Amino acid sequence: MDTISNYVDSVFATVPESPERAAQKQAMVTKMQVKYQQLSSEGKTEHEATSGAIAAYGNVDDFTVPDIPFAPAEHLQNEVYLTPEEVDEYIDHRHHFAWAMATGVFLCIMGPASLFLGQYLAGYRDGQGGRTSDLMEMLTRVPLFIFVAAGVALFILYGMKEQQFELEEKRVQLDATTYARLKADHKAFRPRLAVAVAIGVALCILAPVSMLLSVVLLGEENGLSLVFLLSFIAIGVFLFIFYDIQDETYEKLLSIGEFAKDKAEKNKVVGIVAGVVFPLAAAVYLIAGFVYYAWASAWIIFPIVGILFGIFATVYNGYMDLKKKK
């Protein structure tokens, strides 16, 4: 990449000083670095990628002729250039954001589990000769509201912090050094993601098994079966969300995967649908639980909605691909 920087320095040596000169120079460097990254990802050698970048954006007149409207790369529509410091700040935020979102969902799932545990303990006390008062019945519901309130607070707090970066619908441009560093970090992260997903899937599969075992060992009426079920699911979902958000962060910064240029428009529509469907599913779950006391069965709405949403996303993406080919 020193070749590109040296080339830009040499061609701008003859450009007169002006207020726009530094921005024009940075724009040329950025365009050439992005082209270099693209060619490198296609398997080109360093020499071939450098030559291709110079051939594509090596004309200094394209950036300095007054008749051509100019805007720095960070101000191009739907694109934003991030410095290495800004990238590190964003990654640090997303790590905390992933923890907050995963913990928030974990608490919302464990809320009903705490209710069942409290009812089980209250019923056990009553069965041992103790007296379960109305106050005790009310107290068993307190942890539910505390867990859900804490989860919602995390959603709101870190959701507001997420909006401060204003990267929702923008493609990120990086310098070549930062791009290469993130690509290596992402490659090292992928095995951890695979392990986390495998453990999460195993826990979700074992969740109903744990419930059945508790029924066999403790009887059909014991409330601990639902505690075991929800606990296994909560831990599995925590792993899914925590690691998926971090993987999404790398893909966003590298403009790959779901954030590749050709998928941006499709993701926008799918994201809008997801923003409507999943909150509705959560609302139905809470209504079914609080109004009809169907905590034991209402959780099934989440895998059902997840499967239907996956089918929708696959069909929509396939339709858009066919439409693009025509």
Contact 212, 222 (CB under 8 A): no
50 neighbors 4 (Cβ within 8 angstroms):
yes
Distances (CA, A) of 257 to 54, 78, 100, 285, 321: 27, 18, 24, 32, 15
CA distance 316 to 59: 41
Angle, CA 289 vertex, CA 124 and CA 196 arms, to 5°: 90
pLDDT average, residue stretch 70-76: 43
Q: Please check whether residue 2 is in contact with residue 22, taking contact to mean a CB–CB distance below 8 angstroms.
A: no
Q: What percent of the chain has pLDDT over 70?
A: 77
DSSP string, 249-260: HHHHHHT-GGGS
> In the structure, what pLDDT confidence band is assigned to residue 273 with cuts at 50, 70 and 90?
confident
Give the residue with greater pLDDT, 130 vs 284.
Answer: 284
**Residue 72 reports pLDDT greater than 70:** no
Q: What is the largest CA-CA distance in the chain?
A: 94
| CA pair distance 299, 302, nearest whole angstrom | 6
Q: What is the arithmetic mean of pLDDT over 227-252?
A: 90
Q: Return the minimum-mean-pLDDT range out of 60-64, 71-75, 232-236, 280-284.
A: 71-75
Split at pLDDT 50, 70, 90, the class of 324 is: low
Q: What is the pLDDT of residue 74?
A: 40
**Alpha-helix runs per DSSP H in 128-263:** 134-139, 142-163, 176-218, 224-254
